């Protein structure tokens, strides 16, 4: 069977190739293929420890200059999540470093004690 149908096809705004799936900037709506999206879009997560349907991607231009007040507000909220994630990671790394140090101290001292130094 043959039919003539109208079909919308996405093309990458960078390389111009047809793409089955495109990453879209929330701000300006520009679309990028899998290969190009990393160079143009920054992904923002909706949660500090998780992502989901509230995640979004912004292009460089829209991060610098959000097109509308609502988008500015959304970007600000995303950046808050990102800052908290960075803070959480820093706290965690510091905690891990202190754990390692304490564990090394036990290890060293335990060996000293067992070696007859009690
Ligand atoms: Zn592309
Ligand atoms: Zn954009």
Give the pTM: 0.78
Q: Which ligand is nearest to the CA of 41?
A: 2
Which ligand is in closest contact with the Cα of 35?
Answer: 1
CA gap 7, 21 in Å, rounded: 15
Ligand nearest to the CA of 28: 2
Asked if 63 and 42 touch (Cβ cutoff 8 Å), the reply is yes
Residue ranges of alpha helices (H) inside the chain are: 34-40, 60-64, 69-112
> What is the CA(48)–ligand 2 centre distance, in A?
23
Which ligand number lies closest to the CA of residue 33?
1
Tokens standing for 53? 């349907």
Nearest to residue 12, comparing CAs of 72, 65, 59?
Answer: 59
What is the model's pLDDT at position 118? 72
Write out pLDDT tens, residues 53-103. Answer: 999 999 999 999 999 999 999 999 999 999 999 999 999 999 999 999 999
How far is ligand 2, taken at its centre, from the CA of residue 31, in Å?
A: 9
Q: Residue 63 Cα, ligand 1 centroid: separation in angstroms? A: 20
Tokens representing 8 are 């919308």
* Burial (Cβ within 10 Å: 0-12, 13-18, ≥19) of residue 113: exposed
């Amino acid at each position: 069977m043959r039919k003539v149908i109208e079909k919308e096809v996405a093309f990458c705004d960078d390389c111009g190739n047809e793409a089955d799936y495109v990453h879209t900037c929330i701000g300006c709506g520009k679309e990028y293929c899998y290969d190009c999206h990393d160079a143009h879009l920054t992904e923002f997560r909706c949660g500090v420890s998780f992502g989901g349907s509230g995640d979004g991607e912004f292009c460089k231009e829209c991060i610098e200059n959000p097109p509308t007040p609502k988008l500015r507000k959304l970007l600000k909220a995303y950046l808050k999540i990102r800052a908290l994630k960075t803070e959480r990671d820093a706290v965690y790394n510091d905690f891990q470093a202190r754990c390692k140090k304490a564990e090394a101290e036990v290890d060293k001292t335990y060996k000293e004690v067992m070696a007859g130094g009690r």
